[in-house]
Amino acid sequence: MTPGPENAPGFWLDTPEHRTWLAEDARKQFAFFRTALRPEGGFHTLEWNGTPRPDPLQELHCTTRMIHSYALAELCGVGGAEMVEHGMRYLAEGHRDGEGWAWGVEGQTPVDRRRMGYGHVFVLLAASSAHLAGHEDAPALIDAATEVLEQHFWEDGPGLIGPDFGPDWQPLDAYRGMNANMHGAEALMAAFEATGREDYLEKAGSILWFFLGLKAPAYGYRIPEHYFTDWTVDAEHDGDPMFRPAGTTPGHSLEFARLLLQHWDLAGRPDSGAPETARKLVERALADGWAEAGGLHYTVSLGGAPLLRDRYWWPVTEGIGALASLIKLERREEDEIWYRKLWSFAAEHFIDHERGGWYPGLDAAGQPTETQFKGKPDIYHALQATLYPLAPGLSRQGTTLPAL
């Protein structure tokens, strides 16, 4: 099943065949993940066939991403209000743990009470998207998440999101990271779109400037992931293989490039050099990350050598989003070649055309496998890969979303 007319001249974004294919994949994803609703609260992680996995643990970023994704379903006209309401209730009754939200919950009981910046920014994203979709509790959740982020996570000096905390709000360690900040920029821009408050856009800009205006050029447009307390680069860090792997992550460079263009657009497209920076990030990430057999290596060194060669679905989705943004700004043939290559690889290797959803990883032969990620871990990344190309602008929020 091809995602577009294979040998057609021009750009797939301009063809009804490709746009129809994108809309159909989005609808299949929405249909597949609706079965994740857990009657007693929250959401199941699903096996490849759509049955619930037995693990009772629900992590904060998974709950919030489901809320966000089905808020997009509501905005696209295919119905997501029930899923949003279910997730919002679970945030309040399951994850809410005093001042802040617990990272891991089983049933109604927090079992991992860490206060993670990565998780808290997704609370803000979920609240902002739910607000755009009309949920009555969303404005209060935006305010609550903003207050916690500003009081505990935001560091005024560097203008960045800082450490993670234990349940007593004592820092867990000296680590500072790029990943929470990248998704922080995403959430802050969503909050700006939901509320119109300029301070959200300013904070997102501060994050983008540090990582993309200062750090990326100093490292050949690779973005260091890990930092010491004073925000100098920790080039030797090798921690959690999912959230803190050694090296730099091409998928994050692609994601950051798209977010930079979104911020530039929301800010009125100033003469800031953002499109040029985004292009350099995309070109470097694809040159470093593309594997000989296709797909993107998970991590590379700060010099560009492959480190973790596992090929996951989400870096491909982020490449699609970044390239779609570049193509919307300027029709370049080299971008179209990469856009078609990524979609064609995804359609052949990652997408479950029969049941919906995307497989999380590939083995050496290019067949679906489970290594770091089990089941079909979420709808968030793959859904956005289908919606960004369909949206007329550089944002996925509000009235810019397509009707499916």
Residue 258 has pLDDT above 90, yes or no: yes
Q: According to the model, what pLDDT value does residue 403 have?
A: 81
User: CA-CA distance, 172 to 181, in Å (whole number)?
Assistant: 17
pTM of the model: 0.97
Give the model's confidence band at 399: pLDDT under 50 very low, under 70 low, under 90 confident, else very high.
Answer: very low
Q: What is the CATH number of domain 37-173?
A: 1.50.10.10
Residue 299 has pLDDT above 50, yes or no: yes
Give the model's confidence band at 348: pLDDT under 50 very low, under 70 low, under 90 confident, else very high.
Answer: very high
Residue 265 has pLDDT above 60, yes or no: yes
Taking residue 92's Cβ as centre, other Cβ atoms within 10 Å add up to: 14
Domain positions in the chain are 37-173
Q: According to the model, what pLDDT value does residue 396 have?
A: 58
Q: Looking at the annotation, which residues are catalytic?
A: 252, 381
Look over the chain and give the mean of its residue pLDDT values, rounded to a whole number. Answer: 96
Give the model's confidence band at 331: pLDDT under 50 very low, under 70 low, under 90 confident, else very high.
Answer: very high
Q: According to the model, what pLDDT value does residue 395 have?
A: 72
User: CA-CA distance, 273 to 135, in Å (whole number)?
Assistant: 37
| Arithmetic mean of pLDDT, 76-83 | 96
| Arithmetic mean of pLDDT, 288-298 | 97
> How confident is the model over 181-207, as pLDDT tens digits?
999 999 999 999 999 999 999 999 999
